[in-house]
Chains A and B, each alone.
Chain A
Amino acid sequence: MKRFILATLGLSLLVAGGCGLDNYAEPKSKLLGQITYNGEPLGLRGTGEAVQLQLYQDGYELRAPIPVYVAQDGSFEATLFDGQYKLVTRDNNGPWVNDRDTTVVNVSGSTEVALEVTPYFTLSDVSLSLDGESLNATFTVNEVVENATIEYAMVLLSNTSFVDDITYSAREDLRDVTVGSAMEISVDLSENEGFKAGKPLFARVGLRTVGADQAIYSQVVRLR
């Protein structure tokens, strides 16, 4: 019995003693960021890992990017070791002009960074409201990049706070969008199951540019 206890003791010492020698402490520093244009955060698709940034760190033999997923309000977050990183948007990804210039970020403790991009268009004066059995949206499209072409605008409704061109319960597209003037779209909800069932409703407006792989969105508004 004594021998058994001793053996157990020895074994647990061995197991416990194994820690600390060959392991790193987990990363604790946080990189918090926001994708902005003129200081304003951009609305994006937040599901399906659709919009990603990449972090590179020099000085190692292998150079693989760390993917950073962007949330639908344009914010992102990564838990890292302290050090110098290079932040870059993913190639051809996002509703902005593709720009592979790196932003150098020195991560030390909690670090905040704003990543400025140049979207093709922005959305302003967005108002979303419920009127009886329809959802009314008004918004204005502002041109940022000359010669960019609008593909279509869309109004999206969802029963959860995730709303984008893939995750929605109702959607209405508008093909003829003019820049600078107030646009109106109305979505008939009389047949919408989520609406009839009294579920929560969230909505936002999106705009697709020809040639961009993602749409730009207004911020999500809770209607009910």
Chain B
Amino acid sequence: MKKHISIIRTTVLIGFISFFSACSDFLEQEPDAIIDEEQVFEDEGMIKSVLANFYGRVTWAQNISDSYSYTILDEAGKSDSGPDNIQDYSNELWRVYDYTLIRNMNQFLEGLRTTTVIGEEARLAYEGELRFLRAWLYFNMVRGMGGMPIVGDEVFEFNGTTTDITALQYPRSTEAELYDYIIAECEAVTEYLPEEPSVNAARATKWAAQMLKARAAVYAGSIANYNNKMPNPISTPGGEVGIPADRAEGYYQQALEAAEEVINSGVYRLNMTNPDDLGRSFYEATSVKNSNNEVIWARDYKYPGQTVGFTRENIPASHAEDIDRAYAGPILNLVEDFEYTDNRDGSIRTRDAQGNYIFYDSPEDAFANKDARLWGSVIYPGAVFKGSPVVLQAGQKYLENGTWRTRTGQPGETDDDGRLLTSVNGPVTSNQQFINKTGFFFRKFMDETRGASTRGRNSDMWFPRFRYAEALMIACEASFELGQTADALNYINQIRERAGIQELQTITFEDIVREYRVEFAFEDHRYWDLKRWRLAHEVWNGVQNSPTAQQYALFPYLVVAPGTPNDGQWVFDKQPFTNSPHPRNFQMRNYYNFIDQAWINNNPKLVRNPYQ
């Protein structure tokens, strides 16, 4: 017992000593990992690095850091392992609600406006960039959810019970108000921002702001236009969703002005690196940074440090440098939307009028005379990638009693005569990993740099958000909607000329829809375009074997018929894509993301979206 008491005594003593000695400041240290506001705005390098942080936080929706995001629309299918049973779209798909980032941005703005280390002009340039990024963030919110609270430059402080919380709870703006805010912000910062293109289009310029203005205006215009043409327009009584029809013209006008400003600036143009090889030129226009005159703003990646795995994940097996490969591949639906130079119907001709196979000497012949952008966007069977052809062969076709039968093998297996059965690249219909199942690979955003598909290095491919071609398309669409058909034709034909396809003499809305689809495949346009045109529920109608909602694959076969002229030729089978058996079903509720119940609990002034 005595021993116990002494232990207690010692403990109490030590406790007392340490308690009182805390008055000395030997534990007080300046934190070296936390930098306070003052320190940031004392140094331009610091200001820049905070801004860089914001640039890293503004990528959402479909983009090359998320290969899966390509497979849920009608552009590509997931080849990885077994089937993806997606059918409906989530109520939260690509929903952006990042008021944390807005607050951080406004904190930065507040500090920036007090800084004395940089001159007024430089300060305004930073402010311009910041406000551009904030407008981009609002744009990503509005296209998903409609009008959301606009908090301006305010930095909210909450001091426990002394703060009146209801003053911090902003109601939702109307959808039109938020688009107007984005447009006004872009207009306000254009004079602050530099006119010179930035390195790799990574930073905001005057032209990026003009592009955002143009895109926001054309989105708002098409919602005002097409939403009100629906039998049952989607809207809320307060206008948080839905834009009055009479505002369409004004928005189209704004879009046209902004797009034309970019077009007439002469800073950017349609990239044409090699007029003799239009496909290659188109690939380089979207996916090569060097001497690129087309991309206006991009999410840039840089090795080492900032790299992206798109190339590694999706590269053909025959060209892979690491174990990853063939995660996803474009689908036939997209490929067939690319026209032939002599025929606007882009369907791949696999059978003649009697239903017999059409035989091709080599698989790439089926894609001869296609829109050059197909070569630049998609690797089709037999197309060359990094100097060698990508062999896609599902199996062999042989004759038995007058009918063609199919023989397949394991990937890379050959028959007894040494002829290839099934390519290591596929396509196959099995559940195997690392093998293609659609018949096509991506080319756009595939990095040709050595080592770009290894896990150790990864790729520093960029992801363009705005490019000159979009200025042309927005100008085309806005002119068309404003009834200026001649201008619309002029703009769309510039794009078609670069693609090597016939000029249009007349233009319809369907032409514009299709041109956007093929020009901007894999660039995060398709989903938002179909939404703003209110076409998504018709295109992705959930009907089995619907040509637009069901995903399709194209399987190439080598003909093995010794002694006949067809031996060694190629035939194709079109078939539903087995790895995504369900048709896409976009429902009315998907036009606007749902407002989360947790947000409403925190801010009861938020009203719910339609169908919610």
Contact = CB atoms under 8 A, between A and B. Distances in A.
Contacts of B610: 91-92
Contacts, number: 41
A203 interface: no
Contact of B611 (A93, A165, A166): A93
Interface in A198-224: 210-213
* Category for how many chain B residues contact A: 20 to 34
Interface size class for chain A? 10 to 19
A90 interface: yes
Contact of B589 (A165, A166, A210, A213): A213
B87 A166 contact: yes
A91 B88 contact: no
Contact of B587 (A91, A171, A213): A213
Contact of A211 (B230, B604, B608): B230
Interface string B86-124: 011000000000000000000000000000000000000
A149 interface: yes
B457 to A, nearest CB: 43
Contacts of A91: 608, 610-612
For the residues of A in contact with B, the DSSP-based class is loop
A128 B48 CA distance: 71
Contacts of B587: 50, 213
Interface in A142-161: 149
B543 interface: yes
B230 A166 contact: no
Contact of A90 (B544, B601, B611): B611
Contacts of B589: 92-93, 213
A209 to B, nearest CB: 9
Q: Is the interface of B mostly helix, strand, loop or mixed?
A: loop
Contacts of B234: 92
B542 to A, nearest CB: 5
Contacts of A63: 604
Interface in A87-110: 90-93
A64 B542 contact: no
A169 to B, nearest CB: 9
B543 A92 contact: no
A92 B232 contact: yes
A62 interface: yes
Contacts of B542: 165-166
Given A165-B542, A168-B544, A213-B587, A64 B611 contact: no
Contacts of B402: none
A171 B543 contact: yes
Interface in A66-93: 90-93
A90 B87 contact: no
A48 interface: yes
A50 B588 CA distance: 11
B231 interface: yes
B149 to A, nearest CB: 19
Given A166-B542, A213-B588, A90 B231 contact: no
Contacts of A165: 542-543
Contacts of A213: 587-589, 611
B236 to A, nearest CB: 9
Nearest to B236: A91
B551 interface: no
B588 A92 contact: yes
Given A211-B231, A213-B588, 19 more contacts: A48-B88, A63-B604, A64-B597, A64-B600, A64-B601, A90-B611, A90-B612, A91-B610, A91-B611, A91-B612, A149-B231, A166-B87, A166-B542, A166-B585, A168-B544, A210-B231, A210-B232, A213-B587, A213-B589
Interface of B: 87-88, 230-232, 234, 542-544, 585, 587-589, 597, 600-601, 604, 608, 610-612
Interface of A: 48, 50, 62-64, 90-93, 149, 165-166, 168, 171, 210-213
17 contacts: A50-B587, A62-B601, A63-B604, A64-B597, A64-B600, A64-B601, A91-B610, A92-B232, A92-B234, A92-B588, A92-B589, A92-B611, A165-B542, A166-B542, A211-B230, A211-B232, A213-B611
- The 8 A-B residue pairs with the shortest CB-CB distance, nearest first, are A211-B232, A211-B231, A213-B588, A210-B231, A64-B597, A92-B611, A62-B601, A166-B542
